[in-house]
Structure 1
Amino acid sequence: MKKEVVIKTKRLVKTFKGKEVIKNFDMTVQKGTIYGFLGANGAGKTTVFKLLMGLLIPNAGKIEILGLDHAENKYEILQCIGSIIETPIFYEHLSAKENLEIHLSYMGVPNSHIENTLEIVGLKGVGKQPVSEFSLGMRQRLGIARAIIHKPKILILDEPINGLDPIGIREMRELFIDLVTNQNMTILISSHILSEIEHIADTIGVIVDGNIIEEVTLSSIKEQYPDGLEDYFFNLMKGGNKNV
């Protein structure tokens, strides 16, 4: 049975100072999956995420999210998305709890899940501590809490495990899988840690020089590359065979 598509871009173009950074970009993300978005530094991953979030406006092309035209339904779409893009920014003098309360107020969502969400991301008992005292790993956990607390339908996560120790990485891996399996979310995630993408992704999309050159299921990659995602990715970066 064919799955519902929740994110679709068609011939998306973004230019900066006359240079095309995103070029005829086509992406398809299916509902209830984890889409691993891979590419070298500077390939355009974060720019794509910003376009999907409405933080940047495309010069050409179309974005559809949850079946809605992004240009015409931006606010409605944003209410259905949780995100971490680049380094999470908080009100430093406020506590984790207060930062989440502000986010929920902005999203128009009741604040009944704050303590539970903090516990889920490994921040139990720190709700009153000012964020200025948080470590890098704690800030990343709070960023993930903020992304999921309003129970979005889609998560867009740009390097979400930055700053986490091995235990934290494993905890977030398990959380992401649980969010898809038990809370009906769809996740679009980028990471330089290919082994983590390999643990959780259903589909892999590879961007090179602003364009998607491959969208393929992880299972089909494993059939051709028994040693895993790293071999597939580096072969592709060196100009190897596409269409696994």
Structure 2
Amino acid sequence: MSGKLAVNAERLIKTFSGNEVIKGCNLSVPAGCIYGLIGANGAGKTTLFKLLMGLLTPTAGTVQIFGMDVGERRDEIIKCIGSIIEAPAFYDHLSARENLEIHLEYMGTSGDVPATLAMVGLELANNQPVSKFSLGMRQRLGIARALIHKPKLLILDEPINGLDPMGIREMRELFLTLKTEHHMTILVSSHILGEIELTADTVGVLVNGVIAQEVAPSVVKKQYPNGLEDYFFNIMAGGKQDA
């Protein structure tokens, strides 16, 4: 990693109807790494991701993606981001291939549809209507859509929801390949802490709208032999962290 930041959020605040959901949050994601964001339900993970992408306007604070201010250059920035935010939606009467082709047209770019579908294990379902897809297949298609335009940054909100154990392993291997061979930066949230532990270079713990801790899983392992789960629950219980 070069030290360049893919994502830099400073003093980020987001208020809804007088309620602060994100509270002076700072987040730094080095380019070329996998950053795992974990937190309890309601901690603000999805809201934070939407702020980073410019889908929500911050009440205060700044966000930069590869040095570009999201508030000033959102249209430019969005083309270098691939994302899954909440449950992915598709044109259900169309095939996986057609959905990706429409996305490429919308993005104003090109991409290798068959190769991308193969990357996520959908090569045999590329002409099947999405209405016939299982939850896991829809999630795979969502990941394919995030990848199809070869973004520099992936922002993935619970990307392995609905996948079976084999699918989870395949996506884990895919994310690691995207980092090492395609030099993508990946910012991913998950409630499956074991997967974050296996893939992330850095873990950020979001508690009540603030990044309470940032740590490498290898450092956590030294202090908590049972791993990230014990570390996380200790933070949630208000424990002091030396990692």
Fold conserved (TM > 0.5)? yes
CA distance in 2, matches of 1:218, 1:195: 10
CA distance in 2, matches of 1:144, 1:28: 23
Alpha-carbon shift at residue 220 of structure 1 (Å)? 1.3
Q: Percent identity?
A: 64
Alpha-carbon shift at residue 139 of structure 1 (Å)? 0.1
Partner residue, 1:80:
80
Alpha-carbon shift at residue 243 of structure 1 (Å)? 4.1
SS in 2 for 1:71: helix
CA distance in 2, matches of 1:166, 1:75: 37
Say if 1:7 and 1:28, in contact at 8 Å, map to a contact too.
yes
Say if 2:53 and 2:70, in contact at 8 Å, map to a contact too.
no
Partner residue, 1:142:
141
Question: 1:1-244, aligned counterparts within 5 Å?
Answer: 3-111=3-111, 113-244=112-243
CA distance in 1, matches of 2:2, 2:138: 38
Q: TM-score, normalised by structure 1?
A: 0.98
Alpha-carbon shift at residue 242 of structure 1 (Å)? 2.4
SS in 2 for 1:205: strand
CA distance in 2, matches of 1:242, 1:23: 21
Say if 1:44 and 1:210, in contact at 8 Å, map to a contact too.
yes
In structure 2, the CA distance between the partners of 1:176 and 1:24, relative to structure 1 (3 Å rule), is same
Say if 1:214 and 1:243, in contact at 8 Å, map to a contact too.
no
Query: Which piece of structure 1 moves more, 57-66 or 219-228?
Result: 219-228
Over the aligned positions, Cα root-mean-square deviation in angstroms equals 1.0
CA distance in 2, matches of 1:198, 1:219: 9
CA distance in 1, matches of 2:206, 2:173: 26
CA distance in 2, matches of 1:240, 1:54: 34
CA distance in 1, matches of 2:187, 2:242: 21
CA distance in 2, matches of 1:76, 1:242: 39
Say if 1:3 and 1:31, in contact at 8 Å, map to a contact too.
yes
Alpha-carbon shift at residue 12 of structure 1 (Å)? 0.4
CA distance in 1, matches of 2:193, 2:75: 33
Alpha-carbon shift at residue 4 of structure 1 (Å)? 1.2
Say if 2:139 and 2:163, in contact at 8 Å, map to a contact too.
yes
Deviations along 1:137-157, one digit per CA (max 9) or x if unpaired, are 000000000001111000000
Paired amino acid for 1:139:
R
SS in 2 for 1:162: coil
Paired amino acid for 1:155:
L
Say if 1:158 and 1:191, in contact at 8 Å, map to a contact too.
yes
Alpha-carbon shift at residue 2 of structure 1 (Å)? 5.9
